[in-house]
Amino acid sequence: MKILDYICLVLRLLVGALFIVSGFMKLVQPIEYFEYAIGFYRIVPDAAVPFTALAIAWTELIAGTFLFLGYLYKPSTALVLALNTLFQTALAQAIFRKLPIQDCGCFGGLISLSPCQTYVLDSVLLLLMIGLLAVKKSLFSLDQSAYLR
Amino acid sequence: MSGRYFLAGVLIVVLTMGSVAATRWVRGMPKAVEPESWKVKGDPNAKNFIVDYSDFACSYCSKISLILDEALKDYPKDLKIIFKHYPLRMHPASMPAAEASECAADQGKFWEYHDILFQNQSDWAPSKEPAALFIEYAGRLGLDKDKFKQCLNSHVKKDGVEKNRLEGRRFYVSGTPTLILNGRKSIFAYKPEDLKSIIRKEIDRGKKR
């Protein structure tokens, strides 16, 4: 039981850190760059692209930070899971439509992943997040802090 | 939810936003795409410019190239096109095609070669050995074939093309064609009428300023 708790802690930190890096990298560059990337998926109307870019990047960063620290553990896990599902849907339609996308645009200029590679990564993340959602409490989380309760 | 718990959440959000603001301030925000006096089509003094990150083997790029030509005819004094290579890895013949266009540029015929590559895309793009076709196109344009062949086989242009792609990566270019209008506005319209309308609006706005 204890080992499982520690495994969940490591997974929580990993998934949280991944979303933090992803959101942070998008926000410390001109947001137009991420807008270009979103435009390629051809699912968001032009007028909504700037808002979508900001909303995704900030949600990734804040929900990722919450998850990393274990604050609002369940809602933040559910939120990153919803984001992940959204990304998978966008990627799947891009792969299906054979859109000329070389780089998913997920991590700014930090890592270059193709839509197929990202889809596999997101599928693994999805399983991890479902696992995290199934856990009632997470070790060393702010939710468990006696001072904040 | 206790007051402390709520305050902790607010503090996390504020610190997160602060870390982004601080990083942007310390690093300084890189500028969006800037014009370069390189591979320019149209009036070099035109105020409006479109940077076109393109792949010669991409069918969308071929179509967009024709629409951009029409836009240049419509606004000969107000618009210029800046071409940037972004050969996609999914198209094996793209990199040699980009190199070939650079070899043609050495002999002063980049845009002519650009056009001939797009016009004959269905012939060379699926080919595993497109070099012979590239040399034939060079001959059609009256280029010095020996010089062209030497340039193509030596791959001296590969670094330059790769530089374009890396620059594109910095600007988050993730596919082709990526069109960036006046260094800040990305264009996602791929219907001719939509693209033309965006260009027209931007030019009209510039004239009013």
Is A40 part of the contact surface with chain B (CB cutoff 8 Å)? yes
Report pLDDT for B34: 45
pLDDT over 50 at A140, yes or no: yes
- Phi/psi at B187 (nearest 5 deg)? -110, 125
Residues of A in contact with B173 (CB under 8 A): 36
With a threshold of 0.90, tell me whether the complex ipTM lies above it: no
Give the pLDDT score at B36. 46
Contacts of B179 in chain A (CB under 8 A): none
CB A36 within 8 A of CB A120: no
Q: Report residue B152's pLDDT band, with 50, 70 and 90 as the boundaries.
A: very high
Residue B154 pLDDT exceeds 90: yes
At A70 the pLDDT is 94
Nearest to A30 among B4, B8, B32 (CB): B32
Instruction: Give per-residue pLDDT as tens, A77-94.
Output: 999 999 999 999 999 998
In chain B, which among 82-101 make CB contacts under 8 A with chain A?
Answer: 88-90
Tokens of B9: 């959440």
Per-residue pLDDT at B37: 38
For residue B137, CA distances in Å to A98, B81, B96, B163 come to 29, 23, 13, 25
Q: State the average pLDDT for chain B.
A: 85
Give the span between the Cα atoms of B165 and A83, in whole angstroms: 29
**A71/B contact by beta carbon, under 8 A:** yes
pLDDT tens per residue, range B53-66 = 899 999 888 988 99
What is the average per-residue pLDDT within A122-130?
A: 93
| Distance between CA atoms of residues B205 and B145, nearest Å | 46
What's the pLDDT at B33?
A: 46
> Across the interface, which of B5, B12, B175 has its CB nearest the CB of A101?
B175
Are the CB atoms for B48 and B79 separated by under 8 Å? yes
Residue B71's contacts (CB-CB under 8 Å, 6 or more residues apart) are B50, B79, B195, B196, B199
CB within 8 Å of B81: residues ≥ 6 apart:
B40, B41, B42, B49, B50, B52, B68, B72
A&B contacts, CB < 8 Å: 95
* Residue type (1 letter), A143: D
Chain B closest-CA separation from residue A106 CA (Å): 10
Residues 6 or more apart whose Cβ sits within 8 Å of residue B40 = B80, B81, B82
